[in-house]
Copies of this chain bind each other. A is one copy, B any other.
Amino acid sequence: MGDTTVIPFFVQLDLITGKLSSFSERVVRRLSDLRGLVADEVALRRELEHGDRIVYEVFKINVPPIQGHLFFNVTVIHPGKIGEEYHFTKGHYHMNEQAAEIYIGVQGKGLLLMRSYNNFRVIEMQRGVLAYIPPGWGHRSVNVSHDPFVFLSIYPADAGYDYERIMREGMGKRVFATSNGQGYCIVDD
């Protein structure tokens, strides 16, 4: 792991747009990263013919990935649909089943889907909503608006990411646009 000494630092977070003044890493997830996760794989292949667009981006600040440290990221989910399904993040459980997470909505409107076995919860996220994801709950975010949905997340740096379980079990819920495109429907999966 190398040197894990960190000295105090700061970044500027624009509380209107969610933009960070600096970051260590930008993770980009594209349409093709959602293969095996979308409701309509045919629609996904059709969309891919027009290019592999960015669905969401995560701006990360590096601290040591060890107990007691805290990771914080800004996630931007761009507006859009795959078929009628709103853009969403891959979603994950924490490898460390003790690790909680805090989300703070900064811009736009989204849904936070959570699952723990056969328990499901949905929190509507918007500016200033501070959501608590308890340990053991898988979580995925969905942009249900026509603007970017931006949120800050903070979690123990030793949380780890289990994407496989979502691949295998799903989130149990999917979010589709209403036929007029002005709302959303939450549907059991």
Contacts and interface: CB of A to CB of B under 8 A. Distances in A.
Interface of A: 5-15, 20, 61, 63, 66-70, 72, 96, 98-102, 104, 106, 112, 114, 119, 121, 123, 127-135, 137, 154-157
A152 B98 CA distance: 23
Nearest to A19: B128
Nearest to A12: B128
Contacts of A102: 70, 72, 154
A112 to B, nearest CB: 8
Pick the 6 closest A-B CB pairs, nearest first: A68-B98, A6-B134, A10-B131, A8-B121, A13-B130, A68-B99
Given A70-B154, A72-B102, A100-B63, A15 B15 contact: yes
A23 B131 CA distance: 13
Given A70-B155, A155-B70, A8 B99 contact: no
A123 B10 CA distance: 8
* Residue with the greatest number of chain B CB neighbours at <10 A, chosen from A13, A70, A101, A123: A70
A154 to B, nearest CB: 5
Nearest to A14: B128
A132 B6 contact: yes
